[in-house]
Amino acid sequence: MRFPEYFQNSEKPVISFELFPPKTDVGMRTIRQRLLPNLAKHNPSYMTVTYGAMGSTQSKTLEIASLIKNEFGFESACHLTCVGSSRADINDILSKIRDAGISNIVALRGDPPQGSDTFVVPQDGFAHADGLIKHIRTTEPNDAPFGLAVAGYPEKHIEASDLNVDIQNLKVKIDAGGDIIITQLFYDNKAYFDFVDKVRAVGIQAPVIAGLMPILSAKQIQRITSMCGATIPPDLAAKLNTAIDDDDKAEKIGIDQCIAQATELLEKGAPGIHFYVLNKHTHMAEIMSALPL
């Protein structure tokens, strides 16, 4: 199935997971033997696999996405970014994705490679995700289009001047051919619902899937949110400050917070939740068992 099909007359929320490719063979075995079997128990609609910049783990993206679909029987999606790739490179990757029987792509500009502060447009490549999306739409077979997800930012992209400008950029991506919107992580549901209202106000009708990252470490989530521009509400920040050096306590706080956040989102009509699982599964078992699904 392609992304938009999951949200057409769906009677239940669409739940999905995001994984990242490990850098080692041991990590790959862990994904195959432990992570995927345990995530599969929760019967997600699909799983997506992130994309290593500058070739660091790109081949593993397709390998894991193929594993999810062909061995575990779930739909999967490859992330695809503009970083370090020419049009010819993109065409080669698209061909491999199609040959693997994968029907969905998460199309992103991508972050600058580690150690770089700014995005550099590749030679004969794309400066923004809308260019990548247009290229996919104009080169794919008419009888077998990809399902395309794009990123949305409830608290704006960290490089955007303001949220309204960022939402206009989002509209450009949808108008170029994006099917669904998966949001950046957030911890205040008001930010999500306000974002959906603003998105609808500019004429975007694509489903807006809430992206949630359960907290596993206070220091880790402080680092992640500082990099992406997401905010931690004061009450949650105060709880996490009591667990700065205690990851077990932070994980418990994170699980409780994620259950409460996801429950409210589902009860108030979010069409789906996309969990950034950080290649862990034990916390997801607690979260999934508590949700009103």
pLDDT in tens, 71-87: 999 999 999 999 989 99
Quick check: is 146 in a domain?
Answer: yes
The answer to whether residue 154 scores a pLDDT higher than 70 is yes
- pLDDT at site 57: 65
Mean pLDDT over 134-152 rounds to 96
- pLDDT at site 292: 85
The answer to whether residue 293 scores a pLDDT higher than 70 is yes
No. of H helices and E strands in the chain? 12, 8
Catalytic residue, candidates 5, 11, 18, 251: 18
Say which residues have a Cβ less than 8 Å from residue 202's Cβ, sequence separation at least 6.
Answer: 167, 168, 171
Quick check: is 260 in a domain?
Answer: no
The answer to whether residue 241 scores a pLDDT higher than 80 is yes
Mean pLDDT over 223-236 rounds to 95
Quick check: is 46 in a domain?
Answer: yes
Quick check: is 142 in a domain?
Answer: yes
> Which of 8-12, 139-143, 175-179 has the lowest average pLDDT?
8-12
Between 122 and 203, where is the model more confident?
203
Whether the Cβ atoms of residue 52 and residue 81 lie closer than 8 Å to each other:
no
Between 149 and 23, where is the model more confident?
149
- pLDDT at site 11: 79
Does the active-site annotation cover 18? yes
Q: What is the pTM of this model?
A: 0.95
pLDDT in tens, 199-215: 999 999 999 999 999 99
Mean pLDDT over 171-188 rounds to 98
Please tell me the distance from the alpha carbon of residue 150 to that of residue 133, in angstroms, as a whole number.
9
- pLDDT at site 53: 55
Whether the Cβ atoms of residue 50 and residue 19 lie closer than 8 Å to each other:
yes
Residues in the chain: 293
Q: How far is CA 61 from the centre of its chain?
A: 14
Say which residues have a Cβ less than 8 Å from residue 43's Cβ, sequence separation at least 6.
Answer: none
Quick check: is 91 in a domain?
Answer: yes
- pLDDT at site 72: 96
Quick check: is 259 in a domain?
Answer: no
CATH label of the domain that carries residue 133: 3.20.20.220
pLDDT band at 121 (very low <50, low <70, confident <90, very high): confident
pLDDT in tens, 22-75: 989 999 999 999 999 999 999 999 999 998 655 556 789 999 999 999 999 999
- pLDDT at site 64: 96
- pLDDT at site 95: 96
Quick check: is 266 in a domain?
Answer: no
Q: Average per-residue pLDDT in the chain? A: 94
Please tell me the distance from the alpha carbon of residue 22 to that of residue 56, in angstroms, as a whole number.
10
Report the number of distinct structural domains present in the chain. 1
Residue ranges making up the domain that contains 84: 12-213
Please tell me the distance from the alpha carbon of residue 267 to that of residue 284, in angstroms, as a whole number.
19
